[in-house]
Amino acid sequence: MSPSIDTSSPAIARFDPESLSQRFAAMAPSDIIRWAVDTFGDGLLMTSSFGAESMCLIHLLTRAKPNVRIVLVNTGYLFPQTLIFMEEMRRRYGLNVMEYHSQHDPLVYLTVHGETDPRMRRDVDACCRDNKNEVFDRAMRELAPAAWVRGVRADQSAIRSRMKVVQWNTRVNAWAISPLLNWDHRRIFDYMKHHNLPFHPLWPQGYVSIGCNPETCTSPVAADSDPRGGRWGGMDKKECGIHLDQGAGI
Ligand code: SF4
């Protein structure tokens, strides 16, 4: 059951998401971000996985607000290349990265939960709940943003196609803002090329959507395949959970 929304709350009553989303549907991501920065100021933060094309949204947002908080959820199972890439970007662009870690030791967690092969996951939902969603929820509780900028796109999944550019998120208790919702892979690629932004080092090897390193969780895909097809390939699972209002119940 979805949590009820107190529409009388001043934070929620402040905007009408329906009219805002209609207004934003035809607007460029940079204009949406400008509105978000002007509206929420230091109450804004963004999440980033420092994945394949993450520098697109990071560049857009930091041009408008250079010191914006960028939250990285470190599950303990990220690719080493992701952490190296994050550190390179942090230094090169002066990013204000806030890294939140799983409370579990990565190897101990696998042993305790009967995961006998570190290259695979048998229970992906339990692992995402314990090592990703718990971390995300803790970060959001501690940082208490007024608005959360995220990089979801409508063309990535059926769930994401139903999202709005601006919508109230009951889980985070803040506005969720998705400036790239109506962009596709091509537009992001063109933006990154135009601004000479770096891609994740695994991107040239076919890793176009990058999460954790077990083969069950991230694998390369052939050119022109569904970019999200490399995430939990062959499973019904489409989301790690942080973009769902009921993340822990994925
Ligand atoms: S994506 Fe895979 S390794 Fe990462 S938290 Fe989820 S199940 Fe665990």
pLDDT digits (tens, 9 = 90+) for 176-201: 999 999 999 899 999 999 999 999 99
Atom of ligand 1 minimally distant from the CA of 217: 2
246 within 8 A of 171, measured Cβ to Cβ: yes
Decide if 4 is inside a domain.
no
Decide if 96 is inside a domain.
yes
Using alpha carbons, select from 209, 73, 103, 78 the residue that is nearest to residue 153: 209
Question: The CATH number of the domain where 144 resides is what?
Answer: 3.40.50.620
Six-digit token string for 199: 């891609």
Residue nearest to atom 2 of ligand 1 (CA): 217
Atom of ligand 1 minimally distant from the CA of 213: 3
Decide if 243 is inside a domain.
no
Residue nearest to atom 3 of ligand 1 (CA): 212
Give dist(CA 25, CA 31) in Å, integer: 11
73 within 8 A of 133, measured Cβ to Cβ: no
Decide if 55 is inside a domain.
yes
139 within 8 A of 101, measured Cβ to Cβ: no
Residue 10 has a pLDDT of 57
Give dist(CA 127, CA 111) in Å, integer: 12
Q: Identify whether 240 is a catalytic site residue.
A: yes
Decide if 230 is inside a domain.
yes
Whether the CB of 217 sits within 6 Å of ligand 1: yes
Using alpha carbons, select from 102, 49, 110 the residue that is nearest to residue 239: 49
Decide if 245 is inside a domain.
no
Number of domains in the chain: 1
DSSP, res 176: E
Six-digit token string for 195: 């601004």
Gap from CA of 132 to ligand 1 centroid (Å): 7
Range(s) of the domain holding residue 194:
10-236
Whether the CB of 231 sits within 6 Å of ligand 1: no
Atom of ligand 1 minimally distant from the CA of 130: 5
Q: What are phi and psi of 72, to 5 degrees?
A: -110, 125
**Residue of 101, 132, 237 to test ligand 1 pocket, by largest number of atoms within 8 Å of CB:** 132
Whether the CB of 211 sits within 6 Å of ligand 1: yes
Decide if 1 is inside a domain.
no
**Residues 209-249: tens digit of each pLDDT:** 899 999 999 998 877 777 777 787 777 777 777 787 754 43
**Residues 56-110: tens digit of each pLDDT:** 999 999 999 999 999 999 999 999 999 999 999 999 999 999 999 999 999 999 9
Gap from CA of 239 to ligand 1 centroid (Å): 10
What global pTM score does this model have?
Answer: 0.91
Decide if 211 is inside a domain.
yes
Six-digit token string for 125: 């939902």
**Residues 16-46: tens digit of each pLDDT:** 777 777 788 889 999 999 999 999 999 999 9
For residue 92, the SS3 value is: helix
Enumerate the H helices of 4-144 as residue ranges: 10-13, 17-25, 29-40, 54-64, 80-93, 106-112, 124-128, 134-143
DSSP H or E segment with residue 189: helix 185-194
